[in-house]
Chains A and B, each alone.
Chain A
Amino acid sequence: MAEGVKPRVKAPKSAAAGEVVVLKTLISHQMESGQRKDKAGNKIPRSIINRFTCEFNGKSVIDVTMESAISTNPYFEFEATIPETGDLKFTWYDDDGSVYEETKSVKVG
């Protein structure tokens, strides 16, 4: 597992039915591109978050594929319509097979 990886999410705790809310997510991650070489000239292997998804009550909100040019600590800000009370589930997939998850509940009414 890569070091110092920590997912963070900023989401409202409550919303009106059908309201469009702003979601902010960030995961601290070194995002080693695989293009760099160490001092001895050996290639440093790629180690990035390659996929990020957000689901609301099991329904896909966003599904992102990341490539090696994405910056360190990838940050995503997007909007979602909240039709009812439920859980937002955020998932990050690491090159090394690790999966990081975060869940936020949003209450309607």
Chain B
Amino acid sequence: MNFKPMTAIAALLLSVPTFAAADADDDVLIVNGETELVTKAPAPAHLDGALDEVMSGWHFRADETQALEMDDFDNPGMLAVEAAAEVWNTVDGSEGKSCASCHDGVEQSMKGVRAVYPKWNDAAQQVRTMEAQINDCRENRMGAKAWKYDGGDITDMVALISLQSRGMPVNVAIDGPVQATWEQGKELYYARTGQLDLSCANCHEQNYGNMIRADHLSQGQTNGFPAYRLKNAKLNSVHARFKGCVRDTRAETYKPGSPEFVALELYVASRGNGLSVAAPSVRN
């Protein structure tokens, strides 16, 4: 009897993580064989009683999809980042400026930016997302046309800027001047909408790890956004994803860039405080 090889095979089978079950796995996300990202963290204090642990959506994906995010060469989102890096240095608009004219190298000037957005803008007296900030720069400093809020140009640029914070913990402020907006976002998160009468929490807080038809429900964290989705072969912004989710509850959606979605983005981002920024991520 070849008992030993059989045991070895059985042991091997047991050690391979199964993704037939929808639960989050225990894999470790190391990018390019060097940067380890925090994909599981104790839930921030404001989630007391709701969640114990927050998890990046990476854990809910199949091994093959996970692998795409572990190597920048394999990550299709990096193509968009490269394209945006060219745009960063390209002059646009009536002022004859590019992003680099004011901000110099993106690697230094944008380090850590993504981790704290959306955040309060004192001059504008409002909560600003990165998209809003980029378009403000384009219109008021560069004299260029604003990009479509959830279009390809701006999402690629957000990915380039986000990449500079990869590995840094998400740390958006929820108190002070942003508190009212944050509360509004929380309200939206728990409000049931649409003909299916579903709130964000029904799926992403109460049922993460379970199947929704043929797919796995994640916690709906935004630390990996913009996310390259295999289903549409491009980077997807947070608001585009919100729109898709709200539409799936068969509700009329808010518009990308609307105050409602900005509030929701702030709240959802704060639910991921402590996770590493992992943009651009790869999802199915």
Contacts and interface: CB of A to CB of B under 8 A. Distances in A.
Interface of A: 4, 6, 8, 10, 24, 26, 28, 71-73, 75
Given A10-B73, A24-B74, A71 B79 contact: no
B73 A24 contact: yes
16 contacts: A4-B83, A6-B82, A8-B73, A10-B73, A24-B73, A24-B74, A26-B73, A26-B79, A28-B79, A71-B233, A72-B233, A73-B76, A73-B79, A73-B233, A75-B74, A75-B76
Grouping DSSP codes into helix (H, G, I), strand (E, B) and loop, the A interface class, with mixed when no group exceeds half, is: strand
Given A75-B74, A75-B76, 11 more contacts: A4-B83, A6-B82, A8-B73, A10-B73, A24-B73, A24-B74, A26-B73, A26-B79, A28-B79, A72-B233, A73-B233
Contacts, number: 16
A28 B82 CA distance: 11
Nearest to B234: A72
Contacts of B76: 73, 75
A73 B83 CA distance: 13
**Size bracket of the B interface:** under 10
Contacts of A71: 233
A46 to B, nearest CB: 18
A86 B1 CA distance: 48
Interface in B70-124: 73-74, 76, 79, 82-83
A10 to B, nearest CB: 5
A52 B115 CA distance: 41
A8 B72 CA distance: 12
A24 B67 CA distance: 14
Contacts of B73: 8, 10, 24, 26
A5 to B, nearest CB: 11
Contacts of A75: 74, 76
